[in-house]
Structure 1
Amino acid sequence: MKNELLKIGPFTIYGYGLMIAIGILAAYFTGENRAKKQKLPYEHVFYLVVWCVVGGFLGAKILYWITEWKSIVENPGFLGDTLTDGFVVFGGIIGGILTAYVYCKVEKLDFLKFFDTLMPSVALAQGFGRIGCLLAGCCYGKETESALSITFHTSTFAPNGVALIPTQIYSSILDFIHYGLLLLILKRQKRDGETAAAYLIFYSAGRFVLEFFRGDLARGSVGVLSTSQFISLFTFVAGIVLLVVFSGRDEKKGL
C-alpha cells in the first residue's frame, strides 16, 4: 500500500487524509439526507458534523496520550512530536458523542433523535477511515502465514516485508456491514435511542474480537486486555443499559 497518492508541487495528497475526508463528507451527506426524511431540523447536521469532528479528533488524541503516559513522563516533548499522528478511535467516538450532546443542549435539539439518525453515518465514515489505515499501514495485524495476508513495503508504521493479518480490511468490511445493519434498525426501531445503543453494542463487540488480531501492541494495555478491549467492555455494557433504560421509559409512558 502507498500512503502518498499524489504530489502537486510542494503539496502531497495522502491516502489516509483523503479517506478521512471522504468519510466525513459521506457522513455529512447521508446524515443530512436521513435528517430530512426524519423531519428533523436538518440544517443543524452540518454544524453537528463539524463540531463532532473537532471533538472526535480531540478525544482521539487525548486518549492516545493517556495510553502513552509513560512515554510522556520520560520525554515531555513526545506531546509535540505526536500532534499530527497517533489517535485512538474510541476516544474519537466518546469525544464526538459528548460534543454532539453539548451542541444539542445548547441549540435545544432532541439529542436522542439526532443520535439515532447520525450514528449509521459514523459507522460509514469509519469504514472509509479504515481504508485510510490500510493505505498508511497503521492499525496493522499480527504476523501470519495465512494466504489471507498483506505485506507492506513502504509503511512508516507497519513492519515492512512481513506478511500480516489484514485487520484494516476486516475492520472496514465490518464497518460497512455495521452501517447497513444500523439503517435497518433505524427504519424499524420503536423507541428513540435503539439505533444509538445498537451502534455501541455492535461496534464494541466487533472491536473487542478484532483486537486479538492487531499487531501494533504499543497502543497500551490494561492487564491482559488492550486499551480498546478494556473500553469496549464498558461501551458494550453502556449500549445494553441504554436499551433497558429506553424500554423502561416506554413502559412508564404506557401506564
Structure 2
Amino acid sequence: MGIVFNYIDPVAFNLGPLSVRWYGIIIAVGILLGYFVAQRALVKAGLHKDTLVDIIFYSALFGFIAARIYFVIFQWPYYAENPSEIIKIWHGGIAIHGGLIGGFIAGVIVCKVKNLNPFQIGDIVAPSII
C-alpha cells in the first residue's frame, strides 16, 4: 500500500483571463498581517503610523519588481531567447529572494528620505517580515 498525495491546484480562482494563485494570496495576507504587527510596534516606539504605509508601499512595489528581475536573471537562457516573456508576469515566475532584496533596498531608501534611522525601523519591522 503506497502513500496517497492529494495535490492542491496552484490556482485559487480566476478573474477573467487572470489566474489568482495561492502563492500570491499567501504573500498578500502576509503583507497585511505584517502591517498590523509593525504598526503596533511603530506606535509603541513613538513614530507616526503613516510612516509605515510609505515603507510598505515602496517595499512591496520594488520587492515585486525585484522578485521578477531576480527570477529572470536566474532563467536567463530562456528569456534571452524569448525577451517578450520578461514582462509577462501572469505566465508565472517570481523569486522570493529577489523580493526580499528589493524590499529591503526600498525600505532603506524610504528611511533615508524621511530622515529615519533604518536600524530602528528594521528592528520594528523585522518580526513582520518573518
Is the structural similarity TM-score above 0.5?
yes
Look up the match of 1:112: 119
Look up the match of 2:109: 102
Runs of 4+ aligned residues of structure 1 deviating over 3 Å after TM superposition are: 3-8, 10-14
Look up the match of 1:79: 86
Report whether the alignment pairs 1:44 with 2:51: yes
> Conserved in 2, the CA contact under 8 Å of 1:71 and 1:78?
no
Q: Within 5 Å, which residues of 2 pair with 1:26-65? A: 26-65=33-72
Query: Are the structure 2 counterparts of residues 4 and 32 from structure 1 closer, same or farther at C-alpha, using a change threshold of 3 Å?
Result: same
Separation in 1, partners of 2:100, 2:121:
15
Letter in 1 for 2:49: Y
Once the two structures are superposed, residues 50-73 of structure 1 have per-residue CA deviations (whole angstroms, 9 ceiling, x without a partner) of 111001111111111111111122
Give the C-alpha shift of residue 27 in structure 1.
0.9
Separation in 2, partners of 1:34, 1:20:
21
Q: Which of these residues, 12, 23, 32, is aligned with residue 16 of structure 1?
A: 23
Separation in 2, partners of 1:63, 1:100:
18
Letter in 2 for 1:72: Y
User: What's the secondary structure of 2:86's corresponding residue?
Assistant: helix
Give the C-alpha shift of residue 13 in structure 1.
5.2
Query: Are the structure 2 counterparts of residues 45 and 80 from structure 1 closer, same or farther at C-alpha, using a change threshold of 3 Å?
Result: closer
Q: Within 5 Å, which residues of 2 pair with 1:1-255? A: 1-6=8-13, 10=16, 14-81=21-88, 83-84=89-90, 85-123=92-130
User: What's the secondary structure of 2:39's corresponding residue?
Assistant: helix
User: What's the secondary structure of 2:64's corresponding residue?
Assistant: helix
Give aligned pairs, total.
Answer: 121
% of aligned pairs identical?
27
User: What's the secondary structure of 1:80's corresponding residue?
Assistant: coil
Q: Mind listing any 5+ residue stretches in structure 1 that lack a counterpart? A: 124-255
Give the C-alpha shift of residue 42 in structure 1.
2.5
Separation in 2, partners of 1:5, 1:54:
23
Give the C-alpha shift of residue 19 in structure 1.
1.6
Letter in 1 for 2:72: W
Separation in 2, partners of 1:5, 1:24:
18
TM-score, normalising length from structure 1?
0.44
Separation in 2, partners of 1:12, 1:73:
25
User: What's the secondary structure of 1:41's corresponding residue?
Assistant: coil
